[in-house]
């Protein structure tokens, strides 16, 4: 069994530092997978409980400190950090102090001050502005980890100072630190923006006690406890309303702007906001099992599953820096020796090469783009469990749907009751007999039969009831054996019956081995089912299919309404898996399965991308899925596709922008056509542009449901 450990990493701002931590912690015995994310500041470890030795927090902390001494490992339950703002304030102080000293040195140079005044001023400005960079470089070299962006800037500024380019040396460091400061501000703001999208966690619960209302932490509420929710408060836990009525804002979970009516007997989820009347709610789940808790956990842990582009950039950065240092050394040494030319101009060109080559633009903007996409999806009621699934969505080619509850409302109604000729049963008697068998089943069709009775029967003992997956139920009541289900159940029980023709779902009923009639139940397509299928086709999905245990006639009728290409009906749960695999094998890209029931869990787990309807969907389906649609609308699949396409476009643009600009400046620098100032501006400017570009995803979070995406 795979287990997880999740920690927070304070003071982690540098993605290349995160990559070093991943490598160090991944080397611990028993660790199967590790993800360190500079965007979320989280460290996620996976290990096998059976075979792995106990991995202590001390072991992990030693590994982290071994590569990044300034990063602090914090357990998730501890107080949220306040150091990030202090860190930014410290950076700003160093930056301003260095700028003041640099201005003093430049003024002294303008006034033709002597070298014994100029050099100390420039040295002081360089140490104040870049001391932290030099210290990090020394620590990295001492630990045997030489190649990173700190080394690049240290080499560039020290060598520039050594060859007499004092002004440029200090200016390079100041501009580099300014770029870092602005990057940290932008990344910090993006983190806060994403956190605000998921600001669902309730601060407290109003527990009803014999002594009155007591405010407690949501974790202290047990199943069965009564809680009061006042107007304007967040509902802390999933539960049933026992008293009161109101309208609730569900936008945090479902992305729906219109408040939903909540009345006595109805169920609500944690994270909803009570808009008007007071509600009394009986808790049905603990806080850890509640919808809001699972959503927060899913989004926070999504960064642990990285996209291919993120893995590529991480590997690229590891190789890139040592290659750049080696290339700069060759530029500085080989041409002067080969051409018998002076060293100074070639050393200067090598410095330009070093300055512009920092990979920050890529290693910051790419993961930030994917995480922003996950945040934008969550604000639209779509939970994506990893950047890898968000990336895979952009290559979606085939979508396979379940029928009931996925493309249909899942609200069945009895539309016809047909007693068997000569059986001696009236419509009322047939309906009541079927209800005796179906009352113990939780299937929507069974519930509709029970609801259609004037006097619904009581549930029987568990031992008197059998539910046969994909067929129906058999129940023993009062000495009679009643079977209610589809044609396969009748065949299984060896019962002769009169086959009926209808587009609805047919439930054949037999009593003591004798067929007594048929009940027709109808379900309607969701209003946006056809639009969802059409929207997905417009975004590149070429194959759509419907898999259902229902009859062929009912499946074909729905497929015609929704515009689905192929239909496979009368399937058992295991047959759904086999049929999905056959369809997926023909796909030229990624194949997804969309379902909602317990019997869909195996297919959801097997699919390239499993997509569950989370509102009415079973817990098993939601757990097995990779993406969860919180409001059960098929059209949100189109929204998810638009977000994935847009994120891929933004990430691609960032990569092309960064590599193109850096390549151009690298070539110009090597040819002596670019100076250090231009190199610094190219490096920091491109990084800031890439970060701001990634933030476009969040700025568009409310526009992805529009018909056209620019």
Report the catalytic residues: 402
- For 499-518, b/e burial (b = at least 16 CB within 10 A) is ebebebbbbbbbbeeebbbb
CB 661 within 8 A of CB 358: no
Residue 456 has what DSSP assignment?
A: P
Query: What are the two backbone dihedrals, phi and then psi, of residue 609, each rounded to the nearest 5 degrees?
Result: -130, 120
- 305 burial type by CB count under 10 A (0-12 exposed, 13-18 middle, 19+ buried): buried
User: Which value, in Å, is the radius of gyration of the alpha carbons in the chain?
Assistant: 32
Give one DSSP letter per residue of 204-224, joined into a string: -EEEEETTEEEEE-GGGPPTT
What is the four-CA torsion angle of 282, 287, 291, 294, rounded to 10 degrees?
-170
The single residue listed with the structure tokens 């249909």 is 408
CB atoms within 10 A of CB 667: 12
Helix (H) or strand (E) run with residue 316 in it = helix 308-339
**Residue count (the chain):** 710
Nearest to 605, CA basis, from 591, 623, 584, 582: 623
Give the distance between the most distant pair of CA atoms in the chain. Answer: 119
Q: What is the DSSP letter of 384?
A: E
- Give the HSE-up count for residue 599: Cα atoms under 13 Å, Cβ half-sphere: 22
What lies within 8 Å, CB to CB, of 10 at 6+ separation is 41, 71, 72, 74, 81, 83, 84
Please answer whether residues 5 and 14 qualify as being in contact, where contact means their C-beta atoms are separated by less than 8 angstroms: no
The alpha carbon dihedral of 156, 160, 166, 171 has a sign of: negative
Who's near 76: CB < 8 A, 6+ residues apart? 6, 7, 8
Among 500, 478, 503, 480, which residue's Cα sits nearest to residue 490? 500
Contact between residue 689 and residue 657 where contact means Cβ atoms under 8 Å apart: yes
Look at residue 590 and give its three-state secondary structure: strand
Residues 6 or more apart whose Cβ sits within 8 Å of residue 223: 283, 284, 285, 286
According to DSSP, residue 221 is labeled P
Name residue 234's beta-bridge partners: 273
User: Which whole-number Å values give the CA distances from 232 to 253, 355, 592, in the listed order?
Assistant: 16, 53, 39
| Closest by CA position to 197, among listed 43, 300, 310 | 300
d(CA 422, CA 414) in angstroms, rounded, equals 22
Task: Single out the residue of 563, 488, 561 nearest to residue 522, CA to CA.
Answer: 561
Query: In this structure, are residues 484 and 437 in contact, taking their beta carbons and an 8 Å threshold?
Result: yes
In the block, residue with structure tokens 């969550």: 378
């Amino acid at each position: 069994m795979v287990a997880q450990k999740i920690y927070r990493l304070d003071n982690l701002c540098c993605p290349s530092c995160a990559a070093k931590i991943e490598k160090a912690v991944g080397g611990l015995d028993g660790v199967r997978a590790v993800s360190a994310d500079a965007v979320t500041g989280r460290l996620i470890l996976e290990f096998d409980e059976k075979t792995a030795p106990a991995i202590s927090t001390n072991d992990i902390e030693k590994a982290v400190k071994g590569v990044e001494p300034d990063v602090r490992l914090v357990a998730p339950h501890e107080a949220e950090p306040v150091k990030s703002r202090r860190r930014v304030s410290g950076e700003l102080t160093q930056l301003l102090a260095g700028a003041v000293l640099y201005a003093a040195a430049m003024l002294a140079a303008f006034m033709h001050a002597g070298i014994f005044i100029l050099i100390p001023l420039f040295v002081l400005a360089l140490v104040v502005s870049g001391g932290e960079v030099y210290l990090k470089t020394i620590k990295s070299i001492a630990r045997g980890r030489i190649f990173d962006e700190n080394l690049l800037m240290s080499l560039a500024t020290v060598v520039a100072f050594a060859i007499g380019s004092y002004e440029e040396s200090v200016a390079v460091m100041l501009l580099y630190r300014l770029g870092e400061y602005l990057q940290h501000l932008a990344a910090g703001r993006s983190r806060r923006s994403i956190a605000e999208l998921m600001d669902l966690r309730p601060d407290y619960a109003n527990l009803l006690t014999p002594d009155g209302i007591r405010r407690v932490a949501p974790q202290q509420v047990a199943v069965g406890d009564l809680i009061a929710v006042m107007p304007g408060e967040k509902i802390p836990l999933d539960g049933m309303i026992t008293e009161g009525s109101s309208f609730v804002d569900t936008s945090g979970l479902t992305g729906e702007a219109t408040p939903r009516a909540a009345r006595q007997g109805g169920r609500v989820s944690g994270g909803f906001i009570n808009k008007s009347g007071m509600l009394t709610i009986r808790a049905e789940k603990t806080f850890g099992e509640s919808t809001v808790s699972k959503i927060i956990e899913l989004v926070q842990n999504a960064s642990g599953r990285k996209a291919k582009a993120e893995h590529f950039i991480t590997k690229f950065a590891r190789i890139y820096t040592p290659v750049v240092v080696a290339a700069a050394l060759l530029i500085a040494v080989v041409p002067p020796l080969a051409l018998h030319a002076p060293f100074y101009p070639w050393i200067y060109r090598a410095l330009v090469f070093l300055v512009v080559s920092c990979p920050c633009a890529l290693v910051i903007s790419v993961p930030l783009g994917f995480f922003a996409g996950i945040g934008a999806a969550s604000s639209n009621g779509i939970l994506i469990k990893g950047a890898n699934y968000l990336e895979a969505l952009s290559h979606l080619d085939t979508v396979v749907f379940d029928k009931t509850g996925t493309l249909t409302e899942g609200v069945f109604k009895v539309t016809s009751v047909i007693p068997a000729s000569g059986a001696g049963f009236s419509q009322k008697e047939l309906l009541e007999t079927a209800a005796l068998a179906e009352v113990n089943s939780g299937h929507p069709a069974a519930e509709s039969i029970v609801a259609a009775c004037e006097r619904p029967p009581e549930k029987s003992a568990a031992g008197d009831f059998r539910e046969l997956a994909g067929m129906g139920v058999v129940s023993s009541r009062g000495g009679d054996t009643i079977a209610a289900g589809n044609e396969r159940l009748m065949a299984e029980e060896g019962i002769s019956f009169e086959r009926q023709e209808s587009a609805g779902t047919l439930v054949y009923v037999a009593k003591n081995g004798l067929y007594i009639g048929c009940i027709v139940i109808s379900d309607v397509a969701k209003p946006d089912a056809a639009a969802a299928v059409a929207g997905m086709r417009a975004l590149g999905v070429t194959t759509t299919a419907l898999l259902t245990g229902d009859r062929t006639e009912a499946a074909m009728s729905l497929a015609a309404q929704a515009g689905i290409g192929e239909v496979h009906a009368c399937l058992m749960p295991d047959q759904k898996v086999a049929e999905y695999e056959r369809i997926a094998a023909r796909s030229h890209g990624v194949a997804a399965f969309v379902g909602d029931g317990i019997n869909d869990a195996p297919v959801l787990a097997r699919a390239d991308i499993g997509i569950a309807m989370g509102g009415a969907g079973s817990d098993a389906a939601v757990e097995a899925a990779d993406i969860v649609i919180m409001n059960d609308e098929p059209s949100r699949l189109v929204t998810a596709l638009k977000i994935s396409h847009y994120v891929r476009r933004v990430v691609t643009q960032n990569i092309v922008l960064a590599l193109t600009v850096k390549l151009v400046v690298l070539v110009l620098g090597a040819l002596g056509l670019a100076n250090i100032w231009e190199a610094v501006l190219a490096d920091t400017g491109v990084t800031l542009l890439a970060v701001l570009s990634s933030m476009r995803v969040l700025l568009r979070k409310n526009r992805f449901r529009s018909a056209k995406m620019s």
